[in-house]
Structure 1
Amino acid sequence: MLKDWKKILLLAIPSIASFASMTLTGTINLILVGQLGALAIAIVGVSNIIMYNAWAIFSGIGHTVNYLVAQNFGSNTMKKGVERTYIAFYLCTIACIIVFLVGLFFPADIFKVMGSSSDMIDQGKDYLQIRFFAMIFSIFTFVFHGFFRGIGDTKTPMISSIIGNLIMIFLTYGLTYGNFGLPEIGLYGAGIALFIGEVVTFLICAYVYFIRLHSKFETRTIVAFNRAESKLIFGESSKLGIQEFSMSMAMFVFTAFVTRLGTNALAANEVALSVMSLGFMPAFAFGSTATILVGQEIGKGSALEGRKAGTNTAILGSIFLFILGIIQFFLAEPIAKIYTDDIMVYQLASRLIMISAFLQLFDGLLNFYAGGLRGIGDTSFLLKTSLILGWLLFIPLSYVLTFVLELSSVGAWISLYTYLAVFGVSVMVRFYRTDWSLIKLKTVPTEIKENIG
């Protein structure tokens, strides 16, 4: 047991550091930008939701590379893993063209769809535009990270993320307020800082993949188009991307509801989400670890060992989130005050933090066991459950509690964690009801024929 837990922690801790650095960077940036006022906080918060939705559409590419490469690594078929990664790069190129065009022409229109005020649109459209341009690099970075984690290398994503995020923080402080001899360009400066940080992270990952790993995996080998593999990558990426997009769109509508409660309510919502992301990111990290360990065991032909690894990962992750929840519950108001000195905002934010401090365990269950299901390639279940619960439970319940029962922001957050609880329990049940003796390595139907030919 201790040996298994040590293996999990050796993979999870760098991932926690990686995701936590992203979260901490977002938190610090929000604090820095928060000094510009509640409107700036609201712009950044709404932009975060918009960008999460945009990223979610294409995130399935990275998730697919993660679990397929993990299986290939476990089965010692990394030539196939590199081929699949190149196919993912081709899909990323198409995705980035779409992202660039949307960022170039539609930022103001997207804010309008969110029901934003004219001030928010005028002051936020340029910031949102550069966020889209930054996403071009983050899409590729997520695929690189998926490959690295698939081979059990969680340190490279950690190092690249930390370096990129440190640069981002430095430039945010400098460009937003004119420090370190840099020009003072306000909120747009924070956007430029984020862009540069994403570029640096991408370049580090590209160096490791194409230069350092070439001798071991021949990563600079040009891969020809493989119709069967491309169909597999596209199909799996679509399912995982739509699943992530369904969840993010549900959050998009959730934020639109909160936006209509006023600037203070929206600012408090974003502060609380920023604080709670300290729990979301470790949950993602342990979920990613579950994908790695389960996928590698499937590749080795040891499905039951994969089930055991998924269970141990969930136990460790739950312990971590419980301890974090205790801290957040008892220090809710002091933490909220770090973001803003507006009494209306920090008092409401602290209430939301207390509501979610322990309920975030359900978000943990969702991530831990969804990671395990990705490891075995059970992507269809994740897609169907996300669509059903997001649009038939979460959104209707949010509307009823927020507006019909007039519970305002508190009602919105009760609906959020009801959704996460049902989703988390659902994927946990699926994980344990799966017949693991039938789980096989993910291959394409024509693979055997192609190899013979």
Structure 2
Amino acid sequence: MQTEKNKFTLWLLAWPIFVELLLQLLLGVVDTLMVSRVSDDAVAVVGLANQVFQAMMILFMTVASGAGILIAQKIGAKQQEAARTVAIMAVTVSAAIGVVLSMILYQEALPLARLFQLEERLLPLAQTYISIVGSGMVLTALTAALSTIIRNTGNTKGPMITAIGMNVIHIVFNYGFIYGELGFPQLGLTGVAISTLVSRLLATCLLLFMFVTAFERRISWGDLLVFNRKLFGAILKIGWPMGINMSSWVLSQLTIYTILATLGARELATRTYLNTLESICFMLGFSIALAVQIQIAHLYGSGNIKEAYRSGYRGTWIGMGLVGFNSLILFFTFKSFLSFFTSDAGIVQLGMSCLGLTLVLQPGKMLNMGFGNALSAIGDTRFNMVISLISMWGLAAGLSYYLGLHLGWGLAGIYVAMICDEYLRGILVIIRWRQKKYLRQAEARKASGAGLENVRQEGMGLHA
């Protein structure tokens, strides 16, 4: 049986996260690949719709992300009951938000599609896809919250197993609905949306089964009414800057997608294909960054401050090496992969013209993600929020408009803007981590606590 310390080693945390995220990514790749057999227009719709869904997810991910870090800290501090209460509140609040978002997306699918300047001929496809997949946003909220909670208890294998099952089901249903095989009706993009909904429902059921036994004391239906104002305040203290950070990123990406939609469906489809391939390249580094966040939060909660500081560097440099290696693989196989997704020569040529820029982008993303997650793990989330608001809008979105539209650089100009954004934030989070502001405060509290304990013991000795 694994000890708690062994559960929180970087490798044991990272490899199941990698498999889970890779399989979740494959869910998107399968969507993109199979939808591309319908049409490139359908791919453009799915790409834009997924950006809308990500924007909506911020509302419940604010709670889930803050809760995840707090759970790892509490477990590190040997406060299992507090961690359990935090988890219960995160699930119930996320589910409530998810229900509201489901109703909004189902009823307002067409106005949302029009809001992002989608071409008129794509609106019927967008309305169908957004309304069906969006109606299951409550399932997305639950899977996100449950996966985050289970992962931060040190059990990263559970969400991985769920991702495997979810992908298998999704692939089978996609194949059936798109091609009219296995006794399914041929429904095209509508079938892809239904497939997504069904696979998420089954994943939610499996994660709920794991959730009820995730802590020392089993969670029952009656526990869902538990609410602790102090702990919920602690969740929001960590979570709300993370929520603004996430919203800043997603909304800036939506702005960029709107710029791309203005450029045309070809640019929008190319960016969707490129984003899929880049995500495969970056996935291992991203899993390392998430594992580092869990590990540092646990070390920070247990009072092991020096090891927490070292873990930030170790995890980020390992991630940089892995991302660099994957980028080289992408460089040599890029054209073959892109040609596999689409036969449109214009899309392939546009993607190839941006290849060098995509490779420069990846290490900057890892630098920013590694140290940014390290800061979040110790509760230093406001700094990330501030620099994100400035850089994402000033550089990622603002410079994308200037270079992409005003100067006419198109998709290449947008990539230049994203590179500037990632490297600026990466440099700033390194500087912040080296300053050790929150870590020094934790060391001071630890020293103060030890001093009080010594005084108490000396007093007891004198009394004796």
When normalised by structure 1's length, the TM-score is 0.92
Question: Following superposition of structure 1 onto structure 2, how do residues 399-438 of structure 1 map, counting pairs within 5 Å?
Answer: 399-435=401-437, 436-438=439-441
Question: Following superposition of structure 1 onto structure 2, how do residues 76-95 of structure 1 map, counting pairs within 5 Å?
Answer: 76-95=78-97
In 1, the alpha carbon distance for the partners of 2:94 and 2:343 equals: 42
In 2, the alpha carbon distance for the partners of 1:440 and 1:255 equals: 45
Question: Following superposition of structure 1 onto structure 2, how do residues 293-332 of structure 1 map, counting pairs within 5 Å?
Answer: 293-332=295-334
Question: Following superposition of structure 1 onto structure 2, how do residues 378-417 of structure 1 map, counting pairs within 5 Å?
Answer: 378-417=380-419
Paired positions, count: 437
Question: Following superposition of structure 1 onto structure 2, how do residues 321-360 of structure 1 map, counting pairs within 5 Å?
Answer: 321-360=323-362
Shift in Å, 1:440: 7.0
Which residue in 2 is equivalent to 1:36?
38
Which residue in 2 is equivalent to 1:124?
126
Q: Letter of the aligned partner of 1:47 in structure 2? A: A
**CA gap 1:164/1:394 in 2 versus in 1, 3 angstroms:** same
Deviations 1:278-303, CA, capped at 9 Å, x for gaps: 13433331221111110110111111
Which residue in 1 is equivalent to 2:58?
56
Shift in Å, 1:310: 1.8
Which residue in 1 is equivalent to 2:106?
104
Shift in Å, 1:307: 1.1
Q: Letter of the aligned partner of 1:289 in structure 2? A: A
1:217 matched to 2:217: yes
1:439 matched to 2:431: no
In 1, the alpha carbon distance for the partners of 2:414 and 2:309 equals: 35
Q: Which has the larger radius of gyration?
A: 2
> Does the CA-based 8 Å contact 1:370-1:382 persist in structure 2?
yes
> Does the CA-based 8 Å contact 2:248-2:392 persist in structure 1?
yes
Which residue in 2 is equivalent to 1:450?
none
Shift in Å, 1:181: 1.5
Which residue in 2 is equivalent to 1:264?
266
Give SS of 1:359's match.
Answer: helix
In 2, the alpha carbon distance for the partners of 1:422 and 1:77 equals: 38
Which residue in 2 is equivalent to 1:68?
70
In 2, the alpha carbon distance for the partners of 1:207 and 1:369 equals: 33
Q: Letter of the aligned partner of 2:374 in structure 1? A: G
**CA gap 1:63/1:108 in 2 versus in 1, 3 angstroms:** same
Which residue in 2 is equivalent to 1:451?
none
Which residue in 2 is equivalent to 1:254?
256
> Does the CA-based 8 Å contact 1:328-1:354 persist in structure 2?
no
In 2, the alpha carbon distance for the partners of 1:75 and 1:288 equals: 20
> Does the CA-based 8 Å contact 2:99-2:137 persist in structure 1?
no
Deviations 1:296-326, CA, capped at 9 Å, x for gaps: 1011111111111121111111111011000
Shift in Å, 1:93: 2.8
Shift in Å, 1:86: 1.4
In 1, the alpha carbon distance for the partners of 2:377 and 2:328 equals: 31
In 1, the alpha carbon distance for the partners of 2:112 and 2:156 equals: 35
In 2, the alpha carbon distance for the partners of 1:201 and 1:343 equals: 38
Q: Letter of the aligned partner of 2:164 in structure 1? A: I
In 2, the alpha carbon distance for the partners of 1:102 and 1:440 equals: 47
Shift in Å, 1:234: 3.2
> Does the CA-based 8 Å contact 1:87-1:233 persist in structure 2?
no
In 1, the alpha carbon distance for the partners of 2:138 and 2:24 equals: 17
> Does the CA-based 8 Å contact 1:71-1:298 persist in structure 2?
yes
In 1, the alpha carbon distance for the partners of 2:55 and 2:294 equals: 25
Give SS of 1:111's match.
Answer: helix
Q: Runs in 1 of length 4+ with deviation above 4 angstroms?
A: none
The root-mean-square deviation of aligned C-alpha atoms, in Å, is: 1.9
> Does the CA-based 8 Å contact 1:53-1:248 persist in structure 2?
yes
> Does the CA-based 8 Å contact 1:366-1:420 persist in structure 2?
yes
Which residue in 1 is equivalent to 2:152?
150
Q: Letter of the aligned partner of 2:330 in structure 1? A: Q
Q: Percent same amino acid at aligned positions?
A: 22
Bigger drift between 274-283 and 432-441 goes to 432-441
Shift in Å, 1:441: 12
Q: Letter of the aligned partner of 1:76 in structure 2? A: K
Shift in Å, 1:248: 0.5
Q: Letter of the aligned partner of 2:105 in structure 1? A: G
Give SS of 1:331's match.
Answer: helix
**CA gap 1:40/1:441 in 2 versus in 1, 3 angstroms:** farther
> Does the CA-based 8 Å contact 1:269-1:352 persist in structure 2?
no
> Does the CA-based 8 Å contact 1:164-1:201 persist in structure 2?
yes
Deviations 1:240-298, CA, capped at 9 Å, x for gaps: 11210110000000011011111111111111011111134333312211111101101
> Does the CA-based 8 Å contact 2:18-2:284 persist in structure 1?
yes
In 2, the alpha carbon distance for the partners of 1:172 and 1:413 equals: 32
Give SS of 2:408's match.
Answer: coil
**CA gap 1:440/1:42 in 2 versus in 1, 3 angstroms:** farther
In 2, the alpha carbon distance for the partners of 1:48 and 1:352 equals: 22
Give SS of 1:260's match.
Answer: helix
Which residue in 2 is equivalent to 1:20?
22
Which residue in 2 is equivalent to 1:236?
238
**CA gap 1:325/1:177 in 2 versus in 1, 3 angstroms:** same
Shift in Å, 1:68: 0.6
Q: Letter of the aligned partner of 1:88 in structure 2? A: A
Shift in Å, 1:338: 1.0
- 2:186 equivalent among 167, 184, 187: 184
**CA gap 1:225/1:25 in 2 versus in 1, 3 angstroms:** closer
Give SS of 2:60's match.
Answer: helix
> Does the CA-based 8 Å contact 1:298-1:440 persist in structure 2?
no
In 2, the alpha carbon distance for the partners of 1:51 and 1:266 equals: 17
**CA gap 1:396/1:273 in 2 versus in 1, 3 angstroms:** same
Shift in Å, 1:84: 0.8
Shift in Å, 1:143: 1.5
Deviations 1:338-395, CA, capped at 9 Å, x for gaps: 1101101112123333321242011111211121111101111111111111122221
Shift in Å, 1:185: 0.6
Q: Letter of the aligned partner of 1:213 in structure 2? A: A
Q: Letter of the aligned partner of 2:431 in structure 1? A: V
Deviations 1:50-106, CA, capped at 9 Å, x for gaps: 111111232122211211111111111010011111121232133113212211211
Q: Letter of the aligned partner of 2:214 in structure 1? A: L
> Does the CA-based 8 Å contact 2:403-2:410 persist in structure 1?
yes
